[in-house]
Amino acid sequence: MHETTSAPDAQSEAGTEQAEYTAATPEAVAHSSSSSATPVGAHRRRGRSRAVLDWLRDPSSGYLSPLQRVTPRMRLVQVGSAVAAAGVLAATAGALASVPQDTSVASATFVQPLVERDNQAPAGAQDRQEQANRDNAGAAGPGNAPGAQAKQSPVEEIKSWSTKSADTIPVSQNALQAYAEAEQSLEEKRPNCNLPWNLLAGIGRIESKHGEIFGAKLNDEGSPTDPIVGIALDGSSGVKAITDTDGGKLDGDPVTDRAVGPMQFIPTTWEKWGMDGNHDGKVDPQNLNDAAASAGNYLCGEGEARDLSGEDAQREALMEYNQSAEYGQDVLDAAAEYAQAGGPRSERG
């Protein structure tokens, strides 16, 4: 028996759609083939197939598949979802509106330009640098704290002192440096002698004008531009006779000896007392650094060094250097004049 429906409500329509899908199963097809009657679903399928063909010919015909149809229940779900979404958006907007607008914070979140970021130290680098600065300051000690003058080495002290003193007394910087370095060298080798640099400077003045006699100049290495060689010691009036002792090696005279260099050593005395004052591996009487150290070594004497801190001891030592009281006095007068320049030792205290 065939049943038909007209104007079905939403519930009956849903039941009909279910029946349509059931009629399409293989079991339903088999059942319909065994019956002479035509099911209601078959009429609907044929009607829907015709509508699909019409839509393919003309898409404007408005055919809607079951999946495209919106039931009242689905419409209620869509409306509810829209209302809920609108509520969430309204709540979010209200929360954002309630946050105070701090323009300083907002501007701080801007990305820095590449130049600024390239020039910015990595995170933690500034802290590490500050710690390194504190460590260096601690290792340097209070005397080398920022703003304090760094402690000079003895060589630097002599260089600085001789440069400054050359402006106050009539002695070249190279000569002052040679005398001061001789004093330092003898402090190490003859610590009990206490030989002052200005006594050596007094001898240098009387003997060769600090290596600049006859128009010579003292170069940076401490040697005169022209070798200094004294008169022949041939026994003439007022001169002691000393025959040659070195084959003319130092003085160029194979017959008699001559005094040589800024401090006027005769060859035999140089051979005994000569020192390498500038530590260049040579012992040269023409070099004022070597000659001044050697003169000091000679004045300190053999064995237990004499103490030359007082004038009487200095005068006695000078009589051995040159057996003339007048000579000794001239040297002491020049030394007293140069004492006004102080010296590296006196400045160190």
Looking at residue 305, its pLDDT comes to 83
Instruction: Return the pLDDT at 285.
Output: 98
How large is the average pLDDT for residues 127-139?
56
Give me the residue label for tokens 């000078």: 318
Residue 208: pLDDT above 50? yes
Q: What is the torsion angle, in degrees rounded to the nearest 10, for the CA atoms of residue 172, residue 177, residue 179 and residue 183?
A: 160
Mean pLDDT of the chain: 74
Give 60-94 pLDDT, tens digit per residue: 555 454 444 555 555 555 546 655 665 656 565 55
Q: How confident is the model at residue 23 (pLDDT cuts 50, 70, 90)?
A: very low
Q: Which parts of the chain are beta strand (E)?
A: 229-232, 258-260
Which of 5-19, 153-167, 251-265 is least confident? Answer: 5-19
Lowest mean pLDDT among 14-23, 60-69, 160-169: 14-23
Mean of pLDDT values over 205-220: 96
Binned at pLDDT 50, 70 and 90, residue 136 comes out as low
For residues 328 and 318, the answer to whether their CB atoms sit within 8 Å is yes
Would you give the distance in Å from CA 344 to the centre of its chain?
Answer: 32
- Whose tokens are 């809920």? That residue is 84
Long-range contacts of 178-181, Cβ-Cβ distance < 8 Å, separation of 24 or more: 178/222, 178/277, 178/278, 178/288, 178/289, 178/292, 179/204, 179/292, 180/343, 180/344, 181/277, 181/278, 181/289, 181/292, 181/293
Q: Are 335 and 195 in contact (CB under 8 A)?
A: no
What's the N-to-C CA distance of the chain in angstroms? 137
